[in-house]
Structure 1
Amino acid sequence: MLTQIKDIAANLAPRLIEIRRHLHSHPELSGQEFQTAAYVAGVLSSCGLHVKEGVGRVGVVGELIGAGTDARLLAIRTDMDALPIFERTGLEFASRQDGVMHACGHDVHTTVGLGTAMVLAQLEPPLPGTIRFLFQSAEEIAQGARWMVQDGVMERVTGIFSVHVFPSIPAGVIGVRYGALTAAADDLEIIILGESGHGARPHEAVDAVWIAAQVVTTLQQAISRTQNPLRPVVLTFGQINGGRAPNVIADRVQLLGTVRSLHPATSETLPGWIEQIVANVCQPYGARYELHYRRGVPSVQNNMAMTQLLESAAVEAWGSQGVQIIHEPSLGAEDFSVYLQHAPGSMFRLGVGFRDRPNYPLHHPQFEVDESAIIAGVVTLAYAAYKYWQQSEHLLHS
């Protein structure tokens, strides 16, 4: 079966490059992927899949119905949105939308998802169970997965796979990570409320700027001494707003930040921990505060059995030299974690780095990918899907 999958994928290679370049030239921002979704739906329909559009607002679902001898349902999720970045790659197929770019590789993700559907639709004999392809919008704003789940895409799903490109891994190499792959990412807003006054008489006022500075400093120091260093927490304030004039003591300062953590138990304690510190800083100086902690997405926790299945598929397809075990998680976030709350699954890293020149990081205006990696992603996902039904249900959920 692996040989058949590789042969079909090789024959599709020119078409997949064409698809990827079309998607790259026509990027759309989160929640606005209307043309992308229509294009994806057209490709899926041409392969004989049952297609439903407008799922999760702008998402597309394509179902490849198997032989019906196995009741399990495998999902494969890819994302479609681009970023508000001006592209500076100089590629012939560079973005035609000023200020919008596929700088995170979602054009490749979508292509790999479509390629996997195209390969599996041609398999003989067909797979025994159904595969549900999820093409999701709005990953970059961490909303699309929730929209998809709210529309029922995880109903009856018994397992799920996903992929994310990685420029620091050479093209075609499959990066496998057991356990935590990405961090939980939450949004934090702290408003410090003081009393305004003349800059020459600070004792008659409550200086919200100075207290806000104490809050930022105290929180950063407290992480190193009150949080378990083996369970990392990163708190970054990226925006501070406050004050009206250089000689007027501010009565209000807004702090906006992001909170990242890897362990679910740690994540649960962070809102209370942060509020206690803020209260302890404000109280002695007569300041008040408002704290708004907004849960974002949880950490991606790759399931052991599903990850073993992915690794074995990749090793069989590309040899041990084509697989890289990832030993460190990322403190970036991924809303694939939302699907994992409903079924066991795993996301792998698809190497897209060039071997003969420097690679720009994700979200960079000169980010490029080695397109030879697309076939590696397609074959890995397609073969992992095939192997999913070769494993007993007991092993996959143990």
Structure 2
Amino acid sequence: MLSRIKDLATTIAPRLIEIRRHIHSHPELSGQEYQTAAFVAGVLSSSGLHVQEGVGKTGVIGELQGTGEDKRILAIRTDMDALPIQERSGLEFASRIEGIMHACGHDVHTTVGLGTAMILAQIAEEISGKVRFLFQPAEEIAQGASWMVADGAMDQVSGILGVHVFPSIPAGSIGVRYGALTAAADDLEIIIMGESGHGARPHEAIDAIWIASQVITTLQQAISRTQNPLRPVVLSIGKINGGRA
């Protein structure tokens, strides 16, 4: 079976390269993956999978039923959204959308999910249970997973596999880890209310920008002194706005 999978992977590799480059060229932001979802649904349908669209807003589910009597369902989850970043790679398949690119590898993830579905569909007679492919939207804003769960994407699932590219792992190798690998994402918003004044007389104002800089620095220091270093915590302040003059 393994040798057959390898042969199938080699056969469809050129098609997967085309798919990945198409997705990379047409990135969509979180919750706006309409064209990506339609493309994914088309590939899944052409491979013979039962497809559900609009799961968790713009998510897609593809199900492959094996031939055995095993009632368990294995889910394979990948994500589809891109980031609000300008691509300047100069590649022929670079993003065609101004200010948006697949900078986190979700174009690869989607392609891996589709490739896995395409291969398993050709060896369905050797699969005893059901495989459910989850193509999740809005991973970058930490919303898409809960959207899909609310729409029943995880109903009756016995186990799930997630995937993410990892640049430090050599091509052709796979890293496996049980439990947490990177970090859970939560949104944190802090609003600092200052009071305007003249730059030459800062003591007469409340400088919100200076306060914000202290807050950011102190938060990082607080983590190192309040949390167990054997259980890492990561805090990233991703955006700061302040001042109009």
TM-score range, shorter chain: 0.7 to 0.9
Contact 1:68 1:130 in 2 (8 A): no
Gaps of 5+ in 2: none
Q: How does 1:199-348 map to 2 (within 5 A)?
A: 200=201, 202=203, 212=212, 214-242=214-242
Amino acid at match of 2:131: I
1:315-351 deviations in Å (ceiling 9; x for gaps): xxxxxxxxxxxxxxxxxxxxxxxxxxxxxxxxxxxxx
Which secondary structure does the structure 1 equivalent of 2:17 belong to? helix
Q: Report the aligned-residue RMSD.
A: 2.5
Q: 1:210 to 1:71 in 2, by over 3 A?
A: same
Contact 2:66 2:125 in 1 (8 A): no
Q: How does 1:146-161 map to 2 (within 5 A)?
A: 146-161=146-161
User: What corresponds to 2:172 in structure 1?
Assistant: 172
Q: Tell me the CA shift for residue 72 of structure 1.
A: 0.5
The CA distance in 1 between the partners of 2:21 and 2:50, in whole Å, is 25
Larger Rg: 1
Contact 2:28 2:82 in 1 (8 A): yes
Amino acid at match of 1:171: A
User: What corresponds to 2:15 in structure 1?
Assistant: 15
Gaps of 5+ in 1: 246-398
User: What corresponds to 1:110 in structure 2?
Assistant: 110
Q: 1:215 to 1:53 in 2, by over 3 A?
A: closer
Identical columns (%): 77
**TM-score (normalizing by structure 2):** 0.87
The CA distance in 1 between the partners of 2:243 and 2:13, in whole Å, is 58
Q: Tell me the CA shift for residue 213 of structure 1.
A: 5.0
Q: How does 1:63-78 map to 2 (within 5 A)?
A: 63-78=63-78
Q: 1:82 to 1:68 in 2, by over 3 A?
A: same
The CA distance in 2 between the partners of 1:57 and 1:83, in whole Å, is 18
Q: How does 1:182-201 map to 2 (within 5 A)?
A: 182-193=182-193, 200=201
The CA distance in 1 between the partners of 2:82 and 2:214, in whole Å, is 37
The CA distance in 1 between the partners of 2:88 and 2:37, in whole Å, is 25
Q: 1:169 to 1:207 in 2, by over 3 A?
A: closer
Q: Is 1:55 the counterpart of 2:55 in the alignment? A: yes
Instruction: Answer with 192-201 or 82-91: which moved more.
Output: 192-201
Amino acid at match of 1:63: E
Q: Which has the higher contact order (CA 8 A, sep 6+)?
A: 1
Contact 1:30 1:137 in 2 (8 A): yes
Number of equivalent positions: 244
Amino acid at match of 1:125: E
Q: Is 1:162 the counterpart of 2:162 in the alignment? A: yes
Contact 1:85 1:100 in 2 (8 A): yes
Q: How does 1:61-100 map to 2 (within 5 A)?
A: 61-100=61-100
The CA distance in 1 between the partners of 2:104 and 2:205, in whole Å, is 47
1:10-29 deviations in Å (ceiling 9; x for gaps): 22122212222222222222
1:283-340 deviations in Å (ceiling 9; x for gaps): xxxxxxxxxxxxxxxxxxxxxxxxxxxxxxxxxxxxxxxxxxxxxxxxxxxxxxxxxx
